[in-house]
Structure 1
Amino acid sequence: MPRTYVVTGSASGIGRATADLLAERGHRVIGVDLRDADVNVDLTTEQGRADLVSGVADASDGRIDAIIANAGLATPIAKAAAVNYFGTLATLERLRPLLAGSDAPRAVATASMASLFPPDDALLDAFLAGDEPTALARAAELEAGTPEEANLIYGTSKRALARWIRRNAAGPDWAGAGIPLNAIAPGVVVTPMTEAYTNTEEARAAILEMVPMPLNGIFQPRDVAYLLAWLTGEENAHLCGQVVFIDGGSDAVIRGDSTW
């Protein structure tokens, strides 16, 4: 039966591949992005988050079946903190009421295997406290610092997102309302966002030193789309609060026996 999906970050990369896959399967897709989407908004801003809700409500007649909160930035700038964490939470929490009319409501967010890397503790604490001004101020400090410091923004935002999923998925707003909420944690995927790491053999070798992917190496967005489609499909009725690493084995190599 056709379902109605909201996919943020739908104009490129994993979001576009997921939107295309769902459309091919006969589902209705409401794409959200900065441009070239059904709903064009900037999720780093409060106005953009408000426009997201009104735009999706208008496009869906107030009823959706699934949220795929995929929009994000991998660049080492403070805006990445705004969209990766606060924009993603706004997408999930503010669109959740539109799931109420679905017989099989589902939600998933895109985290990253970079959530395994050591975070910036001050930024992580601000994220988890829900303090956006403090988080953005700390992210701006990191952006202005060394390249190593700036690179902490992305992984820290994704670690905070994974923790938020774990802390909230089994609660009354999600599991209590019959909504499976989960996340994925991709490894290195060939997208415009990762072009600098994948466009030459030298670059690919360097990123694989940092992100070991023994199973088939760097992969295409379509491979992630299949997982997102299953997580938000009717078949997934019981997976709750899981961060599913689709990373060619990075999680297993880096953490070994350790688990969340």
Structure 2
Amino acid sequence: MTDTDPTGPEVASSGTYLVTGAASGIGLAVADRLCVAGHRVIGLDLRDVDVCADLSTPAGRRGAVEAVLASAGGRLDGAVMAAGLGPAKGREDSIVAVNLLGVIELLEGLRPALAAATDAKVVVLGSNSAATTPFVPRRAIRLLLDGDDERAVRLIRRRRGVAAPVAYAASKLAVARWCRQRAVADEWAGAGIRLNVIAPGPVLTPLLRAQLDSSTGAQVRSFPVPIRQYGTPHQLADWITMMLSPSADFLVGSVLTVDGGTDALLRPDGWPRQLPMHALPRMLWTMYRAPRDGRVAQY
């Protein structure tokens, strides 16, 4: 399959899908895949799409939810949350707003429409930067997950000189943790919604090309990629399309890393890891409660 081939893994019978960041890069490649397969795509971006919205503002996020719900008619078969901002210096607040709140607030607002499909699938674009960027404050992640993004950004900006990449990594780490926490909840998995994250490494999108052509291009090129090539939007679109297909019916709360080997190179012993002893009581309690809560497979 070539990089320009619009075909890929088939999604289930014709449905309606939201794709954010649909005007370029991975979002555009996914939207093209879905359209070729006969699905209806509601594209969301700043311009040149069905729903134009600025996800960096509360009003923009609220308006996006209302417009998507109106366009979808109350039912979504899936969503791909590909909109995002890179590590632009001085834009730490916007990075967090788009990469984190632009996912959380949209998905929370669209959850009833996803539940209406009974087997909807959601793919959120994370990043391998979440696990390979140093100096990310743990407290900032806690603040982001607690909804206190203003204090989190103030804390991140104390990392002078590296605040932008730290903000990017923190936003992607927080969104991945939010997805894993929500994915197994009754209102998500219990409603038939499969929520997962894909964490790419460097992909030749307009964002990466701009970084390569910038004053920090040499630094970007020095980032280790063992396979010795960048990913392409169409390669990621293939993976995402599979994650929207019936093949992913058993995929829930996962973070799939597709990065040319960078994560394995930088932290070969980081994953998988054994269950820590302090987590044992919670595991035993969860297993005990699972039958009562209906969180067991039905045969």
| Fold match (TM-score > 0.5) | yes
**Residue in 2 that maps onto 1:115:** 130
Work out the CA distance in 1 between the residues paired with 2:53 and 2:208. Answer: 22
Shift of 1:178: 1.3
**Residue in 1 that maps onto 2:264:** 252
Shift of 1:42: 1.1
**Residue in 1 that maps onto 2:220:** 207
Shift of 1:45: 1.6
Q: Which amino acid aligns with 2:227?
A: L
When structure 1 is superposed on structure 2, of 47-56 and 190-199 the one drifting more is 190-199
Shift of 1:84: 0.6
Secondary structure at 1:32's aligned position in 2?
strand
Q: Deviations over 1:130-150 (max 9, x none)?
A: 2133234445x35xx633233
Q: Deviations over 1:180-228 (max 9, x none)?
A: 110010100111211233349x93x643533x22225212111111111
Moved over 4 A (4+): none
Q: Which amino acid aligns with 1:156?
A: A
Secondary structure at 2:54's aligned position in 1?
coil
Tell me which of 184, 188, 211 is aligned to 2:202: 188
Work out the CA distance in 2 between the residues paired with 1:136 and 1:42. Answer: 19
Work out the CA distance in 1 between the residues paired with 2:176 and 2:116. Answer: 27
When structure 1 is superposed on structure 2, of 118-127 and 76-85 the one drifting more is 118-127
Work out the CA distance in 1 between the residues paired with 2:118 and 2:162. Answer: 46
Work out the CA distance in 2 between the residues paired with 1:251 and 1:136. Answer: 26
**Residue in 2 that maps onto 1:86:** 101
Q: What is the percent sequence identity of the aligned residues?
A: 39
Q: Deviations over 1:8-49 (max 9, x none)?
A: 011111111111111111111000011111011111222111
Tell me which of 11, 14, 20 is aligned to 1:2: 14
TM-score by length of structure 1 reads: 0.90
1:23 aligns with 2:35: yes
Q: Which runs of 5+ in 1 are unaligned?
A: none
Q: Which amino acid aligns with 2:77?
A: D
Q: CA 1:253–1:66 in 2, change beyond 3 Å: closer, same or farther?
A: same
TM-score by length of structure 2 reads: 0.79
Shift of 1:103: 4.3
Q: Which amino acid aligns with 2:111?
A: R
Work out the CA distance in 2 between the residues paired with 1:233 and 1:250. Answer: 27
Tell me which of 24, 40, 43 is aligned to 1:12: 24
1:134 aligns with 2:148: no
Secondary structure at 2:19's aligned position in 1?
strand
Q: Which amino acid aligns with 1:84?
A: N
Work out the CA distance in 1 between the residues paired with 2:210 and 2:47. Answer: 22
When structure 1 is superposed on structure 2, of 243-252 and 130-139 the one drifting more is 130-139
> Aligned-pair RMSD on alpha carbons?
2.0
**Residue in 1 that maps onto 2:283:** none
Q: Which runs of 5+ in 2 are unaligned?
A: 1-12, 273-299
